[in-house]
Amino acid sequence: MSASARATSIGRVVVSVPEWDHPVIRPVNYVFDQSSQSVLLRSAPGSKLHALLRSARAAFEIDGIDHAGDVGWSVIITGVCEEITATGELRRVEALGLEPWAPSTKGHWIRIRANVVSGRRIVTAAPAVTAYHA
């Protein structure tokens, strides 16, 4: 991930479970784990966690806009997701400082290991100059 992508803290996780009518798309705060080169998020029990564990695959998207520079960007990863349950690994990732924003207990740590990373940078085109002829 680029430096600007690592500087964000909110993204969207997308999970599709084959027997469900629609994908689960949820905003989440996250941390990029440099050590494992993966995205980490926390979850409470519910549809998001159930979908992530049932599917074991997810997409994750972040984007940003620099209004001063008229530049936007988006990064999407797709890959395997897993719940982190090993005690030593939990201690390590808890030290990364990811604090959930939502007011419930988020006791489940999820790792998304990227198989595919794609992105784009969008630069606003300069406005066209209109010539005036008298």
**107 part of a folded domain:** yes
Q: How confident is the model at residue 107 (pLDDT cuts 50, 70, 90)?
A: confident
∠ CA 57-104-77 to the nearest 5 degrees?
25
Count of structural domains, the chain: 1
- H or E element at residue 89: helix 87-94
d(CA 88, CA 79): 23
Model-level pTM greater than 0.85?
no
pLDDT (tens digit per residue) in 53-85: 989 899 999 999 888 888 899 999 999 999 999
**134 part of a folded domain:** no
Q: How confident is the model at residue 102 (pLDDT cuts 50, 70, 90)?
A: confident
**130 part of a folded domain:** no
Pairing of strands 24-33, 38-43: antiparallel
The distance in angstroms from the start CA to the end CA of the chain is: 53
Q: What is the CATH number of the domain that holds 99?
A: 2.30.110.10
Neighbour-count burial for 86-121, b at 16+ CB within 10 Å, e otherwise = eeeeeeebeeeebeeeeeeebebbbbbebeeeeeee
Average pLDDT value for the chain = 86
Both structure tokens of 57: 């695959």
- H or E element at residue 93: helix 87-94
Mean pLDDT of 30-54: 91
* Residue span of the structural domain in which 100 resides: 3-123
Mean pLDDT of 106-113: 93
**133 part of a folded domain:** no
